[in-house]
Amino acid sequence: MTIPDDWGLSGKVAIVTGGGAHGDGIGNGRAAAILLARAGVKVVVVDRDGGLAKRTVEMLQEAGGEGMAFEADVTRSADCAAMVAAAVQRFGALHLLDNNVGIGSRGSVVDESEEAWRRVMQVNVESMFLSSKHAIPAMRKAGGGAIVNVSSISAIRPRGLTTYTVSKSAVIGLTKAMAVDHGKDGIRVNCVAPGPVYTPMVYAGGMSPAARETRKNASTLKVEGTGWDIGAAVRFLLSEQARYITGQVLVVDGGTSLTAPERDSR
């Protein structure tokens, strides 16, 4: 089988949740949206902050792509239904979904509050459940599609972020279950597990230069990851290049999970 130069993506319609980023920074969702648009995908960029989603659309348009911004809170079922309806109304179908929303947490089960536990699970897991719940029927109508859920290497290498680790482990379980459930619909479901990439979410938190250097050197490659690395992995798994891949976890961490250093929170 010959895969076209556009990776079989041209003309497809995608939703990227969590597709905004601070300023002109490149987060995982923004990178995926831009890279998909460059490949000819029509991208619906979803973010709780509509202004951030709009900026991503401007950036992908500057790169020659086509897209629309949609403001939504993907922890709400009604918002997820509305974003799918908007994609179909604007572009005629839905083929691809990048479930990219997530928040962090720190500490053990003793340290974590019950409220924080529930919120992390809601944002990191339930949002993907809801987005997929409403996207999959539209994908069936389109003849199939692909979904990528974004997890984390914390799911396979716990390091003092217990609630976050559990939520990201659940994302992997959700991915595998959905792959089994919806293979018959022609829908592939895979997972990307990023390592400690340097994104606006990280540097907006005020990470020190020393901590940044420690993170970089934790990689066996001694290279700092960026949102582009994650976006490229998402694009690959959504593309026809990955037509025979489903239910899998692609770790994108420069080898960091092989060395598993202690967490440095400076």
Domain ranges of the chain: 13-251
Q: What is the pTM of this model?
A: 0.94
The answer to whether 72 touches 83, Cβ cutoff 8 Å, is yes
Q: Phi/psi of residue 225, each to 5°?
A: -80, 155
* Entry field: residues in the chain: 266
Question: What per-residue confidence (pLDDT) applies to 244?
Answer: 97
Q: Residues 6 or more apart from 115 whose CB is under 8 A from it?
A: none
Question: What per-residue confidence (pLDDT) applies to 160?
Answer: 86
Task: Count the neighbouring beta carbons within 10 Å of the beta carbon of residue 256.
Answer: 24
- Cα 264 to its chain centre, rounded Å, is 24
Question: What per-residue confidence (pLDDT) applies to 123?
Answer: 98
Q: What is the mean pLDDT of each run of 10 residues along the chain (266 residues)?
A: 73 97 94 97 98 98 97 98 98 98 92 96 98 98 98 92 96 98 98 90 76 86 94 98 97 88 46
> Regarding the domain delimited by 13-251, which CATH topology (the fold level of the hierarchy) does it fall under?
Rossmann fold (3.40.50)
- Catalytically active residues are 164
